Structure 1
């Protein structure tokens, strides 16, 4: 074309934004401006979407500058795209600034802001926005996408009460038949340890797809109901629904969490031979976890080295966790070497190695690893637990003194410790990784974030109330023992979600059967 108009450029730029070469949209945009053709808001929005596709922050910032230059800063749809760019590029503050400066905020803009909070680890802020957007400076009505995003946030935070609010909103506003929302509700309730409500949603679905079946199977798996997950899988087949790779991830995970070794091996073989699904890295990860938990560390190592897909850091990290469980120091050191080769070692890997060395009494090795971590400026992630009360999520870290009711919480925890010691509780000193005397170890273990969250729950809820706690790390042996005895002594159920699975503590026992 000898004289293309802006509409022609827009068509081509939009096409490139959907293609495998989104960077070409920027080249065309540059050429268009150099020829003196003024961009309109559509042009800029397509270019911004291209930048999002390959996370080109610098290019997006340049387009943002041109938006002001072209006088399009009042276009809310365009600014929503810019906000989405900053969100995807982990620039939370910049996304917030764009959002705050938008003259008109519609539901799409609010949804992008909520998504930005979730993506940038500001999940509690995402829940707050649900109420803010409906106030009188805004009057914006949440839609089905809003509900979908907030259910994800509730699942992350273990925020059951808030999730129930969203569920009610979904039903009142006529979204109850949406398959994606039903699947998200199943996932949310499962991840909050509330399987009865997840099952109610599942049974209420008229048309169950492989997505909804997979969500239910995964929910059973993560809560330690391995046999029930297998039964659900077989029921799905009887209903004529074919499994996909996500279904098998769920059922293999169920076998792993429940120690069903033979069943897991059988499902892995069936996935390939019967259903023609090529194992992906996450399927191999489940198998490594299954073999590792069963103590078959050499077989797990052989599986990794013989995989048809390239091994990643996650699968090696899974094996490292098994080495910690079974005290296999030599293999653990080999796994660390593989992680170093992949340039993927993280703080958590060194913590697992510290666990290995300390449990074996290799304190000189512990000192070496700690020195290495200091030299590399490796910072470990502090333990953090959350507990929800009346829709508000309360957060605790080890030795926390930031809560407004800290004095009452610590007094309550001291009383709980006294009662549990009478009932036979003995501190598991091996859970403390520092070489300090037993008295100091006992003190350090007394104020883990899980225990502070439980003390807060006892303080603010009536006797007999189930306590639901979420932890960002794997629960330590001492806290696990503490919660088992607490559930019996205080006649309270405790549902704790760590970063791997759920633990349902009831009457002195845990659903994991001490297999986690």
Structure 2
């Protein structure tokens, strides 16, 4: 005898549709729900998650219209959905209307504010959470989100206070939280404390290494960034796209051409990483900043995707200005005009200004 699909079966199917962003399949499965399952809260939550990830707000609103937002689980899913779509006003309305809030509810709203660029509101909500009568206990996601808000605002004093909260919690050795601390101190300019947290991480991920490398790169400490990448390689951790971009930027701003070449060779040749347009732009900038203007011109001429980006030509023109290479600037302006006739006016004006100097 055939077995009828149950709550577990349907919730698994809806989860698969969410991950695949398959709206049509999700709707088809939704129509298969029997009357006994339509009002099941677990399935309602799965449906909300599926429709929100697939970007169908109309379907989400149909579910909301049934008055399900009073349930904490479903209401939290609504908060998460609206926040993820960037509508933090509606997300906050749903959050405030929750009859009871758990840590998942608070996390959804705090993270939503951070993702929407409303970091100050995220910090205020965290403070409100600490004063809430229910005394919700912050978890790793809470700390990571609030630390990200501190990073965005450069709020190192609040970041230090939050670090104290982390140390007093069960999440002091949570890798996501530790990475967030490295990033926060790095973005706020306290490289010593950032390195201290980094060195205290027992099992570092590529995100841990990249966060520290990026911190050094951001503040012009090219030698330290290079040293860290070599150590990373010795410990068997492969760099990712972000690591390579950061180290190239660090070398560019510190004039470390040889170091950049060595790191570049190791990461690209030995690890088989494919260069992105961002990596090529960094290399262009590095060559131009360090006086290798002929090599920069040849690199630009040899790369079709670089030639397709206005930023490449602007970077090269800036390098020409630094090196007083008016002739190369003129050639670049003419070539850009040939490739991008509709966008060339501003570039030609800049080139002419350079000739006049």
Match of 2:16 in 1: 15
1:57-96 alignment runs, 5 A limit: 59-69=56-66, 71-96=67-92
Q: State the distance in 2 between where 1:3 and 1:83 align.
A: 32
Q: State the distance in 2 between where 1:262 and 1:42 align.
A: 58
- For the 8 Å contact 2:37–2:43, the answer to whether it is kept is no
More moved, 163-172 vs 253-262: 253-262
Specify whether residues 48 and 257 from structure 1 end up closer, same or farther in structure 2 by C-alpha distance, changes over 3 A only: farther
Match of 1:28 in 2: 29
Specify whether residues 336 and 193 from structure 1 end up closer, same or farther in structure 2 by C-alpha distance, changes over 3 A only: farther
Match of 1:180 in 2: 176
Q: State the distance in 1 between where 2:17 and 2:295 align.
A: 47
Match of 1:116 in 2: 112
Match of 2:146 in 1: 150
Match of 1:276 in 2: 272
Match of 2:124 in 1: 128
- For the 8 Å contact 2:281–2:306, the answer to whether it is kept is no
Shift of 1:337: 9.0
Equivalent residue for 1:104, pick from 85, 100, 105: 100
Q: Deviations over 1:220-256 (max 9, x none)?
A: 1111011121122223333444434433233222112
Normalising by structure 1, we get a TM-score of 0.59
Specify whether residues 13 and 175 from structure 1 end up closer, same or farther in structure 2 by C-alpha distance, changes over 3 A only: closer
- For the 8 Å contact 2:69–2:94, the answer to whether it is kept is no
Count of residues in Structure 1 that have an aligned counterpart in Structure 2: 349
Q: State the distance in 1 between where 2:59 and 2:179 align.
A: 40
Specify whether residues 10 and 47 from structure 1 end up closer, same or farther in structure 2 by C-alpha distance, changes over 3 A only: same
Specify whether residues 340 and 105 from structure 1 end up closer, same or farther in structure 2 by C-alpha distance, changes over 3 A only: farther
Q: Deviations over 1:419-470 (max 9, x none)?
A: xxxxxxxxxxxxxxxxxxxxxxxxxxxxxxxxxxxxxxxxxxxxxxxxxxxx
Q: State the distance in 1 between where 2:338 and 2:158 align.
A: 44
Task: Please tell me whether residue 40 in structure 1 is matched to residue 34 in structure 2.
Answer: no
Match of 1:440 in 2: none
Shift of 1:361: 9.7
Of structures 1 and 2, the one scoring higher in RCO (CA 8 A, sep 6+) is 1
- For the 8 Å contact 1:64–1:82, the answer to whether it is kept is no
Q: State the distance in 2 between where 1:285 and 1:79 align.
A: 45
Partner of 2:130: helix, strand, or coil? Answer: coil
Q: State the distance in 2 between where 1:240 and 1:298 align.
A: 36
Shift of 1:130: 1.4
- For the 8 Å contact 1:316–1:338, the answer to whether it is kept is no
Q: Higher helix proportion, which one?
A: 2
Gaps of 5+ in 1: 363-516
- For the 8 Å contact 1:301–1:319, the answer to whether it is kept is no
Task: Please tell me whether residue 233 in structure 1 is matched to residue 234 in structure 2.
Answer: no
Q: State the distance in 1 between where 2:307 and 2:190 align.
A: 33
RMSD: 3.6
Q: State the distance in 2 between where 1:329 and 1:154 align.
A: 45
Specify whether residues 244 and 324 from structure 1 end up closer, same or farther in structure 2 by C-alpha distance, changes over 3 A only: closer
- For the 8 Å contact 1:160–1:189, the answer to whether it is kept is yes
Q: Higher strand proportion, which one?
A: 1
- For the 8 Å contact 1:83–1:95, the answer to whether it is kept is yes
1:191-202 alignment runs, 5 A limit: 191-202=187-198
Specify whether residues 284 and 66 from structure 1 end up closer, same or farther in structure 2 by C-alpha distance, changes over 3 A only: same
Match of 1:53 in 2: 53
1:259-338 alignment runs, 5 A limit: 259-294=255-290, 299-300=295-296, 303=299, 306-307=302-303, 316-317=310-311, 319-324=313-318, 326-327=320-321, 328=329, 331=332
Q: Deviations over 1:327-348 (max 9, x none)?
A: 447746876997898xxx9xxx
Specify whether residues 35 and 215 from structure 1 end up closer, same or farther in structure 2 by C-alpha distance, changes over 3 A only: same
